[in-house]
Structure 1
Amino acid sequence: MFRSICRGPVQRSFRYSLLSRLDSTNLASITQLHVCTANNRGSEFPDLNTSVDVHKHKLERPKPTPKITKDELKTLEKDTKGSLIPETLKQMENDADFQMNMENLKKLGQKKLTKEERIKRQRALNDLGIPSFRDFVKSASTDSNGDLYSLLRKTPIEIFQLNIGLYCNQACSHCHVESSPKRKEMMNRQTAEKCLEVLSNSPSIHTVDITGGAPELCSEFRFLAKRSKELGLNVIDRCNLTALLEPGQEDTAQFLADNEIIVIASLPCYSAKNVNIQRGAGVFNKSIQSLLLLNSLGYGKPSSPLQLHLVYNPLGAFLAPSQADLEVKYKEELWDNFGIEFNNLFTITNMPVKRFADFLYRRNELKDYMHLLVRNFNGNSMEGLMCRNYININWDGKLFDCDFNQQLDMPMRKVKSQGNASPNEHTGNRGPSIWDINSTSEVEDLRIVTDSHCFGCTAGLGSSCQGTTV
């Protein structure tokens, strides 16, 4: 019925009456539009792409007004001034588990302590009848998922990860680096300059990922970040948020914004109680204040080039929930309560190393956690493993396949240029260092060094410094 009415004289009359009411400018626009669509047959209506699955259509709710008031914002800003370090040191002194760790470290030394930790993990796997990670991967290869073992080699390096020091204003219970205000190890200028030299000779790299400790509190942070940007590279700051409020760091957030540094910030929960349990008293409020500061500079805003991503890692011996679903929840909670915006949420599995391994062992949960990781092994996660296209450089220049291997003192395999050269003056003769290479192309195709902790990165949807790998 409708189609018959819109044909013939009636249709022509309707079109004429409409066009007669248009001025010449609008008529020209319509003519131009007609020409454009005539030249693009098949896409005359570029916005006519509505899904026929109308039951899935949802109206986006307008964001509610954040619950926090202006007075509360002022109080938060006032209460979060000053250094977190005195509170962190106080908690370290009163924490029996932390004191036990420090005593063992003093008595045995880091090397022997790390060796014992690896033995405990492997013993847990042996009790469960589970082989080494490498043998497990070989046995897990099938016709459908291909040769998984062949994936354990370095591909062209795209991300240059720098752990520039262990000094931190926090002492988190899950920290695989064992950072704290008592750790003074930091990268020096000579090593930083060598890293930049290698970067300039490595065209496959697109991102420099700077971590720590609290990297902003290390002496070479700004030098490395600024010079890496001048090389045309993306730069990531692995930020604990609270470091931005330390005395002497008043202009750090502005520095990050001025240089368009990508901020990836740890926030293990959107509730104060959970964050403070894992990261220390007062950390949540300081984290919120830092996020508000970053938002005020444009970070995390929909139309801004300044990227702000958050990181979630579980409080205990369990896997993270769906990254996409949890991101929605985080965004709702942080906006509703504080008016905070961010870009993406990354979920990272707690690795059974260092402080978290001690946490599990003391609670007699290490075997159960290792079993959890193995039960949830996912071969599809392996192609996206960070150890494949990352290179990790320690504060002293030593090279590792990933940050976890660094903390377990498991260096990369020797590069060809090393050969039988005598120990270099910087790092001795155990494993390669930044001083042994001129370009990251020299480490391509090297076999990746693995151990039992690698089950953490391949469990569930996979885990990497950029979140899930599947």
Structure 2
Amino acid sequence: MLDTRPMLLLSDFPEIRRAELHTLQVNLGYKCNLSCTHCHVAAGPNRTEMMDRKTVDTFLQFIDLQNIKTLDLTGGAPEMNPEFRYLVTEARKRNVTVIDRCNLTILLEPGYEDMADFLAANQVEVVASMPCYNEENVDKQRGKGVYDGSIDALKMLNQKGYGVNGSELVLNLVYNPGGPFLPPPQEQLELDYKRELYDRFGIEFNQLFSITNMPISRFGSVLLSKGEFNNYMDLLKGAYSEHNLESVMCRNLISIDWQGYVYDCDFNQMLEMPLVHRGQQIASDRTHLSELLEKNIEGHPIVVANHCYGCTAGQGSSCGGALE
């Protein structure tokens, strides 16, 4: 896979600093039942990296010591980690909001048939990848048959109460562009999704999050191989909006990798750009979460590079969708 990191580090992106920390985004491992072309962690069925119980207990301790309100679980398919249910149960005991970034099809895999019931019983918010409401676009980006599986999983989640009007079970969908272009306006796209999915399948959901593809990992490699990397970076820089700097997710979030090391965001994690600690600019050594258990990192500088233009381009982009 071609590496975009050398082309991203020399950057003129503005300096930003941390605000109050309230969200832990935890990557439980890179194992996944899918291998999507837009996946910025290059997850897949043959990946073996998995967070262990000791590391899980470390950030449960961090939650106890810090004012953490939200635990955002990602992967890979986070449900494939054997510690997933333990972590969710312990976090909910602490009244922490838990988000499961679900690829939907995992809910249909052998051994995971009761996962939807588990999520509902623990009132886990489901954020489900659904890059389009049309079959051709989804299968092109995520693999043949994924669209049909995703529709079946969404119907099942609706049956459990997820996304249904009047229910407290939250189901949000995620749109990623199918190529090197910015997402369309989120509000209108959400209306299109709701109309198409309800009219065709009777499917309901709460919100649509539109997320810009980052020029890193698998997607960045595709851009390089097609000679489109520089054009895409020009697009992101040309659409830069200073207004979005106040709302970028890294100001209130830290990202934890499967080994427990800390980054400013999930994208920095994939670029091996650790959280600034002990005054380093781009740290040569990594900081483990255990080193930050009682530290206040508010006001610390955030490590930036050219991929950060993806979060500030146009309507902005975060794990919670558009910023504007």
- TM-score greater than 0.5 by the shorter chain: yes
1:188 and 2:43 correspond: no
Q: CA deviation at 1:133?
A: 3.1
Q: CA deviation at 1:132?
A: 1.8
Q: Deviations over 1:38-91 (max 9, x none)?
A: xxxxxxxxxxxxxxxxxxxxxxxxxxxxxxxxxxxxxxxxxxxxxxxxxxxxxx
- The structure 1 residue matched to 2:4, chosen from 117, 121, 132, is 117
Q: Deviations over 1:9-62 (max 9, x none)?
A: xxxxxxxxxxxxxxxxxxxxxxxxxxxxxxxxxxxxxxxxxxxxxxxxxxxxxx
Q: CA deviation at 1:121?
A: 4.4
Query: Secondary structure of 2:50's partner?
Result: coil
Aligned counterparts of 1:393 and 1:374: Cα–Cα separation in 2 = 28
**C-alpha contact (below 8 Å) 1:159/1:207 kept by paired residues:** yes
- The structure 1 residue matched to 2:159, chosen from 290, 293, 296, is 296
Map of 1:235 onto structure 2? 98
Map of 1:437 onto structure 2? 292
Aligned counterparts of 2:285 and 2:94: Cα–Cα separation in 1 = 31
Distance 1:435 1:121, change over 3 A: closer
Q: Deviations over 1:66-121 (max 9, x none)?
A: xxxxxxxxxxxxxxxxxxxxxxxxxxxxxxxxxxx3xxxxxxxxxxx6xx422234
Partner AA of 1:238 in structure 2: R
Query: Secondary structure of 1:350's partner?
Result: coil
Distance 1:238 1:345, change over 3 A: same
Map of 2:71 onto structure 1? 208
Partner AA of 1:275 in structure 2: V
Partner AA of 2:145 in structure 1: G
TM-score normalised per structure 1: 0.67
Query: Secondary structure of 1:276's partner?
Result: helix
Aligned counterparts of 2:185 and 2:121: Cα–Cα separation in 1 = 34
Map of 1:3 onto structure 2? none
Partner AA of 2:179 in structure 1: G
**C-alpha contact (below 8 Å) 2:8/2:305 kept by paired residues:** no
Q: Deviations over 1:414-454 (max 9, x none)?
A: 158x9xxxxxxxxxx81211121214x52221100011111
Partner AA of 1:394 in structure 2: D
Partner AA of 1:305 in structure 2: E
- The structure 1 residue matched to 2:228, chosen from 353, 365, 370, is 365
Aligned counterparts of 2:253 and 2:157: Cα–Cα separation in 1 = 28
**Aligned ranges 1:143-154 → 2 under 5 Å:** 149=15, 152-154=16-18
Map of 2:318 onto structure 1? 464
Aligned counterparts of 2:278 and 2:44: Cα–Cα separation in 1 = 33
**Aligned ranges 1:23-172 → 2 under 5 Å:** 101=1, 116-121=3-8, 132-134=11-13, 137=14, 149=15, 152-172=16-36
**C-alpha contact (below 8 Å) 2:4/2:215 kept by paired residues:** no
Partner AA of 1:188 in structure 2: D
Aligned counterparts of 2:8 and 2:289: Cα–Cα separation in 1 = 30
**Where does the alignment leave 5 or more consecutive residues of structure 2 unmatched?**
none
TM-score normalised per structure 2: 0.96
Partner AA of 1:438 in structure 2: L
Structure 1 or 2, whichever has the larger Rg, is: 1
Partner AA of 1:436 in structure 2: E
**Aligned ranges 1:252-271 → 2 under 5 Å:** 252-271=115-134
Where relative contact order (Cα < 8 A, 6+ residues apart) is larger, the structure is: 2
Aligned counterparts of 2:8 and 2:59: Cα–Cα separation in 1 = 33
Map of 2:199 onto structure 1? 336
Q: Which runs of 4+ in 1 moved over 4 A?
A: none
1:454 and 2:308 correspond: yes
1:326 and 2:213 correspond: no
Partner AA of 2:320 in structure 1: Q
- The structure 1 residue matched to 2:254, chosen from 391, 406, 410, is 391
Map of 1:47 onto structure 2? none
Map of 1:381 onto structure 2? 244
Aligned counterparts of 1:248 and 1:395: Cα–Cα separation in 2 = 22
1:176 and 2:31 correspond: no
**Where does the alignment leave 5 or more consecutive residues of structure 1 unmatched?**
1-100, 102-112, 123-130, 138-148, 419-428
Query: Secondary structure of 1:443's partner?
Result: coil
Aligned counterparts of 1:299 and 1:310: Cα–Cα separation in 2 = 12
Distance 1:404 1:241, change over 3 A: same
